[in-house]
Amino acid sequence: MSASYWDTTRQLLRSSYHVWYRNLLVFRKNIKVNSLPPFVEPLLYLGAIGFGIGTYVGEVDGISFVRFIAPAILAASVMNASFFECAYGTYVRMYYGKSFEAMMATPISLREIILGEILWGATRGLISAGAILLVLSLLGLADLPQSLIILPLAFLAGFLFSAIAACFSAVTPSIDALSYPSLLYIAPMFLFSGTFFPLSLLPESLQIFALVALPLTHVVALTRGIMVGGAMPLWPLNLAWIIIGMIVAAYIAIRLFERRLIV
Protein backbone atom coordinates (compact mmCIF):
# COMPACT_ATOMS: atom_id res chain seq x y z
CA MET A 1 0.00 0.00 0.00
CA SER A 2 1.17 3.53 -0.71
CA ALA A 3 2.64 5.84 1.89
CA SER A 4 -0.23 8.29 1.38
CA TYR A 5 -2.72 5.58 2.42
CA TRP A 6 -0.93 4.97 5.71
CA ASP A 7 -0.59 8.70 6.32
CA THR A 8 -4.33 9.13 5.81
CA THR A 9 -5.08 6.20 8.13
CA ARG A 10 -2.79 7.55 10.86
CA GLN A 11 -4.41 10.97 10.59
CA LEU A 12 -7.87 9.41 10.79
CA LEU A 13 -6.98 7.43 13.92
CA ARG A 14 -5.15 10.37 15.52
CA SER A 15 -8.08 12.74 15.11
CA SER A 16 -10.60 10.07 16.11
CA TYR A 17 -8.59 9.53 19.28
CA HIS A 18 -9.19 13.15 20.30
CA VAL A 19 -12.95 12.65 19.95
CA TRP A 20 -12.69 9.40 21.91
CA TYR A 21 -10.65 11.10 24.63
CA ARG A 22 -13.12 13.97 24.89
CA ASN A 23 -15.91 11.48 25.63
CA LEU A 24 -13.67 9.68 28.12
CA LEU A 25 -13.13 12.89 30.07
CA VAL A 26 -16.89 13.45 30.27
CA PHE A 27 -17.34 9.83 31.40
CA ARG A 28 -14.74 10.25 34.15
CA LYS A 29 -16.60 13.25 35.58
CA ASN A 30 -19.57 11.00 36.31
CA ILE A 31 -17.60 7.83 37.03
CA LYS A 32 -19.59 6.88 40.14
CA VAL A 33 -22.91 6.95 38.30
CA ASN A 34 -21.57 5.41 35.10
CA SER A 35 -19.77 2.53 36.79
CA LEU A 36 -22.73 1.30 38.86
CA PRO A 37 -25.04 -0.21 36.17
CA PRO A 38 -22.50 -2.72 34.75
CA PHE A 39 -22.18 -4.31 38.21
CA VAL A 40 -25.87 -4.22 39.17
CA GLU A 41 -27.42 -5.37 35.89
CA PRO A 42 -25.85 -8.85 35.72
CA LEU A 43 -26.67 -9.49 39.37
CA LEU A 44 -30.36 -8.76 38.70
CA TYR A 45 -30.52 -11.08 35.69
CA LEU A 46 -28.52 -13.83 37.34
CA GLY A 47 -30.53 -13.60 40.55
CA ALA A 48 -34.00 -13.50 38.98
CA ILE A 49 -33.48 -15.71 35.92
CA GLY A 50 -30.34 -17.74 36.55
CA PHE A 51 -30.67 -18.68 40.20
CA GLY A 52 -34.45 -18.18 40.33
CA ILE A 53 -36.04 -19.66 37.22
CA GLY A 54 -32.93 -21.79 36.71
CA THR A 55 -33.83 -23.97 39.68
CA TYR A 56 -36.85 -25.21 37.71
CA VAL A 57 -35.05 -25.55 34.38
CA GLY A 58 -32.19 -27.83 35.35
CA GLU A 59 -29.42 -28.36 32.82
CA VAL A 60 -29.20 -26.96 29.30
CA ASP A 61 -26.79 -28.56 26.83
CA GLY A 62 -25.17 -30.44 29.70
CA ILE A 63 -24.52 -27.41 31.94
CA SER A 64 -26.53 -25.63 34.61
CA PHE A 65 -28.95 -22.98 33.41
CA VAL A 66 -27.12 -20.19 35.22
CA ARG A 67 -23.83 -21.11 33.54
CA PHE A 68 -25.68 -21.26 30.22
CA ILE A 69 -27.08 -17.74 30.45
CA ALA A 70 -24.09 -16.07 32.15
CA PRO A 71 -22.09 -15.61 28.89
CA ALA A 72 -25.23 -14.39 27.11
CA ILE A 73 -25.85 -11.78 29.82
CA LEU A 74 -22.30 -10.52 29.34
CA ALA A 75 -22.75 -10.36 25.55
CA ALA A 76 -26.12 -8.62 25.85
CA SER A 77 -24.68 -6.07 28.27
CA VAL A 78 -21.96 -5.23 25.75
CA MET A 79 -24.68 -4.74 23.14
CA ASN A 80 -26.76 -2.48 25.38
CA ALA A 81 -23.85 -0.37 26.61
CA SER A 82 -22.47 0.20 23.10
CA PHE A 83 -25.77 0.61 21.28
CA PHE A 84 -27.36 3.09 23.65
CA GLU A 85 -24.14 5.11 23.96
CA CYS A 86 -24.00 5.66 20.21
CA ALA A 87 -27.74 5.96 19.75
CA TYR A 88 -28.86 8.34 22.46
CA GLY A 89 -25.44 9.64 23.50
CA THR A 90 -24.31 10.49 19.99
CA TYR A 91 -27.65 12.07 19.13
CA VAL A 92 -27.54 14.27 22.23
CA ARG A 93 -23.98 15.36 21.47
CA MET A 94 -24.90 16.10 17.86
CA TYR A 95 -28.29 17.77 18.25
CA TYR A 96 -28.51 19.20 21.77
CA GLY A 97 -24.92 19.65 22.87
CA LYS A 98 -23.77 20.96 19.45
CA SER A 99 -20.49 19.13 20.04
CA PHE A 100 -20.27 18.07 16.41
CA GLU A 101 -20.50 21.68 15.21
CA ALA A 102 -17.77 22.74 17.61
CA MET A 103 -15.45 19.90 16.56
CA MET A 104 -16.09 20.46 12.86
CA ALA A 105 -14.91 24.04 13.32
CA THR A 106 -11.48 22.52 14.06
CA PRO A 107 -9.31 20.52 11.63
CA ILE A 108 -11.23 17.36 12.69
CA SER A 109 -13.50 16.09 9.91
CA LEU A 110 -16.97 14.60 10.32
CA ARG A 111 -15.62 11.17 9.35
CA GLU A 112 -13.12 11.35 12.20
CA ILE A 113 -15.83 12.48 14.62
CA ILE A 114 -18.09 9.54 13.79
CA LEU A 115 -15.23 7.04 14.02
CA GLY A 116 -14.29 8.52 17.40
CA GLU A 117 -17.89 8.16 18.57
CA ILE A 118 -17.98 4.52 17.46
CA LEU A 119 -14.65 3.80 19.17
CA TRP A 120 -16.00 5.33 22.34
CA GLY A 121 -19.12 3.19 22.13
CA ALA A 122 -16.87 0.13 21.73
CA THR A 123 -14.97 1.25 24.83
CA ARG A 124 -18.21 1.46 26.81
CA GLY A 125 -18.93 -2.11 25.75
CA LEU A 126 -15.46 -3.15 26.87
CA ILE A 127 -15.92 -1.46 30.25
CA SER A 128 -19.23 -3.23 30.72
CA ALA A 129 -17.70 -6.58 29.76
CA GLY A 130 -14.84 -6.11 32.22
CA ALA A 131 -17.19 -5.26 35.07
CA ILE A 132 -19.50 -8.19 34.38
CA LEU A 133 -16.61 -10.60 33.91
CA LEU A 134 -15.37 -9.59 37.37
CA VAL A 135 -18.81 -10.28 38.86
CA LEU A 136 -19.08 -13.63 37.09
CA SER A 137 -15.62 -14.68 38.24
CA LEU A 138 -16.48 -13.83 41.87
CA LEU A 139 -19.61 -15.97 41.53
CA GLY A 140 -17.61 -18.85 40.09
CA LEU A 141 -19.26 -18.57 36.67
CA ALA A 142 -16.15 -17.49 34.73
CA ASP A 143 -12.70 -19.00 34.93
CA LEU A 144 -9.76 -16.61 34.86
CA PRO A 145 -7.42 -15.98 33.17
CA GLN A 146 -8.70 -17.94 30.13
CA SER A 147 -11.96 -15.96 30.07
CA LEU A 148 -9.99 -12.72 29.57
CA ILE A 149 -9.98 -13.43 25.83
CA ILE A 150 -13.58 -12.26 25.95
CA LEU A 151 -12.38 -8.66 26.42
CA PRO A 152 -10.98 -8.13 22.90
CA LEU A 153 -14.08 -9.88 21.56
CA ALA A 154 -16.21 -7.46 23.58
CA PHE A 155 -14.42 -4.49 21.99
CA LEU A 156 -15.08 -5.84 18.49
CA ALA A 157 -18.71 -6.54 19.35
CA GLY A 158 -19.02 -3.10 20.93
CA PHE A 159 -17.65 -1.50 17.77
CA LEU A 160 -20.25 -3.39 15.72
CA PHE A 161 -23.21 -2.40 17.89
CA SER A 162 -21.95 1.18 18.15
CA ALA A 163 -21.72 1.45 14.37
CA ILE A 164 -25.25 0.06 14.00
CA ALA A 165 -26.50 2.55 16.58
CA ALA A 166 -24.73 5.41 14.77
CA CYS A 167 -26.66 4.49 11.62
CA PHE A 168 -29.95 4.92 13.49
CA SER A 169 -28.74 8.10 15.17
CA ALA A 170 -27.86 9.58 11.79
CA VAL A 171 -31.34 9.15 10.29
CA THR A 172 -33.67 9.54 13.27
CA PRO A 173 -35.71 12.77 13.12
CA SER A 174 -35.99 13.12 16.90
CA ILE A 175 -34.62 11.53 20.01
CA ASP A 176 -38.01 9.99 20.75
CA ALA A 177 -37.83 8.05 17.48
CA LEU A 178 -34.81 6.14 18.80
CA SER A 179 -37.24 4.06 20.83
CA TYR A 180 -38.25 2.28 17.61
CA PRO A 181 -34.92 0.52 16.92
CA SER A 182 -34.64 -0.18 20.64
CA LEU A 183 -38.06 -1.83 20.73
CA LEU A 184 -38.17 -3.45 17.29
CA TYR A 185 -34.54 -4.54 16.89
CA ILE A 186 -32.57 -4.59 20.15
CA ALA A 187 -35.30 -6.14 22.32
CA PRO A 188 -36.06 -9.05 19.94
CA MET A 189 -32.34 -9.61 19.43
CA PHE A 190 -31.90 -9.85 23.20
CA LEU A 191 -34.55 -12.57 23.38
CA PHE A 192 -33.95 -14.62 20.23
CA SER A 193 -30.17 -14.80 19.84
CA GLY A 194 -29.60 -17.91 21.91
CA THR A 195 -29.49 -15.95 25.13
CA PHE A 196 -31.96 -17.80 27.39
CA PHE A 197 -32.45 -20.99 25.38
CA PRO A 198 -30.50 -22.82 22.67
CA LEU A 199 -30.95 -21.46 19.17
CA SER A 200 -31.77 -24.98 18.01
CA LEU A 201 -35.17 -24.80 19.74
CA LEU A 202 -36.35 -22.19 17.25
CA PRO A 203 -37.91 -23.14 13.90
CA GLU A 204 -35.30 -23.53 11.18
CA SER A 205 -36.41 -20.36 9.40
CA LEU A 206 -35.93 -18.33 12.59
CA GLN A 207 -32.54 -19.94 13.18
CA ILE A 208 -31.41 -18.79 9.75
CA PHE A 209 -32.84 -15.33 10.39
CA ALA A 210 -30.97 -15.11 13.70
CA LEU A 211 -27.68 -16.09 12.06
CA VAL A 212 -28.14 -13.66 9.17
CA ALA A 213 -29.74 -10.61 10.78
CA LEU A 214 -29.03 -10.69 14.51
CA PRO A 215 -25.37 -9.95 15.34
CA LEU A 216 -25.88 -10.78 19.02
CA THR A 217 -26.31 -14.41 17.94
CA HIS A 218 -22.66 -14.55 16.90
CA VAL A 219 -21.40 -12.69 19.96
CA VAL A 220 -23.32 -15.00 22.31
CA ALA A 221 -22.03 -18.11 20.53
CA LEU A 222 -18.40 -17.01 20.80
CA THR A 223 -18.72 -15.77 24.38
CA ARG A 224 -20.43 -18.96 25.51
CA GLY A 225 -17.86 -21.11 23.73
CA ILE A 226 -15.01 -19.28 25.48
CA MET A 227 -16.56 -19.32 28.95
CA VAL A 228 -18.18 -22.76 28.95
CA GLY A 229 -15.90 -24.59 26.54
CA GLY A 230 -16.91 -27.25 24.08
CA ALA A 231 -17.00 -27.30 20.30
CA MET A 232 -17.60 -24.09 18.34
CA PRO A 233 -18.09 -25.37 14.77
CA LEU A 234 -19.35 -22.02 13.49
CA TRP A 235 -16.72 -19.81 15.11
CA PRO A 236 -15.16 -18.71 11.76
CA LEU A 237 -18.62 -17.64 10.57
CA ASN A 238 -19.34 -15.92 13.91
CA LEU A 239 -16.08 -13.96 13.87
CA ALA A 240 -16.30 -13.11 10.17
CA TRP A 241 -19.86 -11.80 10.63
CA ILE A 242 -18.72 -9.49 13.41
CA ILE A 243 -15.68 -8.13 11.55
CA ILE A 244 -17.45 -7.62 8.23
CA GLY A 245 -20.43 -6.12 10.04
CA MET A 246 -18.13 -3.65 11.81
CA ILE A 247 -16.69 -2.38 8.54
CA VAL A 248 -19.98 -2.20 6.66
CA ALA A 249 -21.94 -0.57 9.49
CA ALA A 250 -19.21 2.01 10.19
CA TYR A 251 -19.03 2.93 6.50
CA ILE A 252 -22.82 3.31 6.28
CA ALA A 253 -22.91 5.38 9.48
CA ILE A 254 -20.28 7.80 8.16
CA ARG A 255 -22.09 8.17 4.83
CA LEU A 256 -25.43 8.78 6.55
CA PHE A 257 -23.96 11.45 8.85
CA GLU A 258 -22.27 13.14 5.90
CA ARG A 259 -25.60 13.23 4.10
CA ARG A 260 -27.30 14.71 7.15
CA LEU A 261 -24.74 17.26 8.31
CA ILE A 262 -22.79 18.25 5.21
CA VAL A 263 -24.71 20.38 2.74
Residue 143 has pLDDT above 60, yes or no: yes
Residue 179 forms part of a structural domain: yes
Q: What is the pTM of this model?
A: 0.93
Residue 47 forms part of a structural domain: yes
Residue 101 has pLDDT above 70, yes or no: yes
Domain count along the chain: 1
Residue 2 forms part of a structural domain: no
Tens digits of per-residue pLDDT, 19-63?
Answer: 999 999 999 888 877 777 777 777 787 878 877 777 788 788 888
Q: What residues make up the domain containing 214?
A: 10-261
Residue 141 forms part of a structural domain: yes
Among 31-45, 61-75, 112-126, top mean pLDDT goes to 112-126
* Local confidence band at 3 (pLDDT 50, 70, 90 cut-offs): low
Q: What would the mean pLDDT of 83-95 be, rounded to a whole number?
A: 94
Contact call for residues 116 and 15 (beta carbons, < 8 A): yes
pLDDT score recorded for residue 240: 96
Question: Per the omega criterion (within 30 degrees of 0), is the bond before 188 cis?
Answer: no
Residue 1 forms part of a structural domain: no
Mean pLDDT of the chain: 89
Among 11-15, 31-35, 251-255, top mean pLDDT goes to 251-255
Of 251 and 15, more confident: 251
Tens digits of per-residue pLDDT, 199-236?
Answer: 989 999 999 999 999 999 999 999 999 998 776 788 89
* Local confidence band at 2 (pLDDT 50, 70, 90 cut-offs): low
Q: What would the mean pLDDT of 76-87 be, rounded to a whole number?
A: 94
